[in-house]
Structure 1
Amino acid sequence: MISAENDRFLRLKEVMRITGLGRNTIYTRMRDGTFPRQVHLGPKSVAWLQSAISQWMESVVEGSSSAHQIRP
């Protein structure tokens, strides 16, 4: 369940600033299924859930650190 106390909507510019990704990269990755989908707030308004972006960022870090672990 989504709680307004714990989550909020992020607009594209803020998602770009937080993730460091460009607009085209975000939409390409959404199409590929490797980035969270936006939520439609109205006919011409979309946003992303902050929790979904945070989870995606954590998964990228986890995937990156496990790929770079030094093995004896």
Structure 2
Amino acid sequence: MHHSSSNTDQPEGFIGAQILRLPQVCRVTGLGRSMIYQLEAERRFPCRVRIGARAVGWVESEVQSWVAGRIQHHRAAPGPCMSHRSPLPSSEHATLTGQVPPFPGPR
């Protein structure tokens, strides 16, 4: 006999909910550990949830909403897409613009 569980078996908001650990949150947001904790302390990032005696995580949907909000805020801002600085590391930028840096030969 097949038993089908209904959605009422799960707490509200549980369906599809996942907990992300810190390395995953860093990957999803592009932020470092310190910045995540700083933004959280300033109430500008989702709060973590306790998942064990010494373990915490973040609700994936909340982190994704935060990322979507950052993208939306960025796209709504007037002005150029990027700052005036090159998005490439300086050595790549120099190479592409013909300003090749000196070769760091043997010393």
TM-score category by the smaller chain? 0.7 to 0.9
**Aligned Cα RMSD in Å?**
1.5
More helix, by proportion: 1
Q: Which runs of 5+ in 1 are unaligned?
A: none
Higher RCO by CA contacts (8 Å cutoff, separation 6 or greater): 1
**1:39 alignment partner, one of 28, 41, 49:** 49
Partner of 1:65: 75
2:37 corresponds to 1:21: no
Aligned length in residues: 69
TM-score of the superposed pair, with normalisation by structure 1 = 0.86
- Give the whole-Å Cα distance in 2 for the aligned partners of 1:42 and 1:3: 18
Q: Which has the larger radius of gyration?
A: 2
Q: Which runs of 5+ in 2 are unaligned?
A: 1-11, 81-107
TM-score of the superposed pair, with normalisation by structure 2 = 0.60
More strand, by proportion: 1
